[in-house]
Amino acid sequence: MTSFGGIHSNKSFRRKMAPLKFKNPPPEAQYILISFPDPSILLITLNRPKNLNCISTQMHYGLDAIYQWLDVEPSLRCAILTGTGRAFCAGADLKEWNLSHQPNAAPKRPLPPSGFGGLSRRQGKKPVICAVNGICFGGGCEMVINSDITIADESATFGLPEVKIGVVALAGALTRLVRTAGRQRAMEMALTGRTVHARELERWGLVNKVVKDGACVDEAVRIARLIAKNSPDSVTVTREGVKMGWEGIGAEEGTRILAEQWYPRMDKGENMKEGIRAFVEKRDPIWTPSKL
């Protein structure tokens, strides 16, 4: 595995790999490791284990920069987000928040437009998989709710405990949670602030798959490889179609937008032609970086 910003210790990805070449170098960010299980897969690891991977203001903007880089780097097809230690992410850095609300403190910098951790309100072009390795509370849970796919270790725990400390989940989770889990489950989770286990959220549809402890990143990489084998143009447009339906655009309006705005751009590209040609010739397609 090739790494930047630190060494990733997951032995299952260690293998010889040619040095990676990028159009632009990856951003560097404090307490964030980036590495590459495959040349087309970006693995982002929150690396603040003593603080349960709580995200500071500086980290929000660092993660936002990494996701922006993901979308414009032609060689990358998919990203995975995980954490080190016993937490995926326990939410915001409340010590920083408390200091920012002291008398005469400088105004706190707002979240980037992409939301908590650059993910809770992210639109983007390329899919992000959350590999939840442990505690996932507050803003960490808000990131998961807006991710494309979630894999969780069986001991992982989730929650929106904001009501217990007198705040509110404002990073996008509340309006999105109801679309995935339904009104009653969303109300229960958000109004009680209770801890919810991975198996329960799998039944709710918020977690795609629960795996044995320590295996969530391996499973996320397996799924990312399946995505990366497909046409990057098709993945981008398909994801956009699903996302429009989830965000409340009507079925007909969403279909019209895909047909009139996205499909013509695909049709002009090389990947659609290559996919059909490879199918006819009974060979694997050779995709080119997406220009959408």
3-state secondary structure of 246: helix
Contact 5, 33 (CB under 8 A): yes
Q: Which residues contact 201 (CB under 8 A, 6 or more apart)?
A: 152, 158, 207
Is 139 catalytic? The answer is yes
- Max Cα–Cα distance, the chain, nearest Å: 71
Among 65, 92, 156, 220, the one annotated catalytic: 92
Q: Is 92 labeled as catalytic in the residue annotation?
A: yes
Active-site residue identified among 117, 118, 142, 228:
142
- Name the catalytic one among 162, 186, 198, 215: 162
Find where tokens 């046409």 sit.
Answer: 231
Structure tokens of 151? 């894999």
Tokens coding 89: 């992410």
Q: Are the CB atoms for 181 and 248 separated by under 8 Å?
A: no
Catalytic residue among 115, 118, 139, 254: 139
Is 142 catalytic? The answer is: yes
DSSP string, 45-74: EE--GGGTTPBPHHHHHHHHHHHHHHHH-T
Active site residues: 92, 139, 142, 162
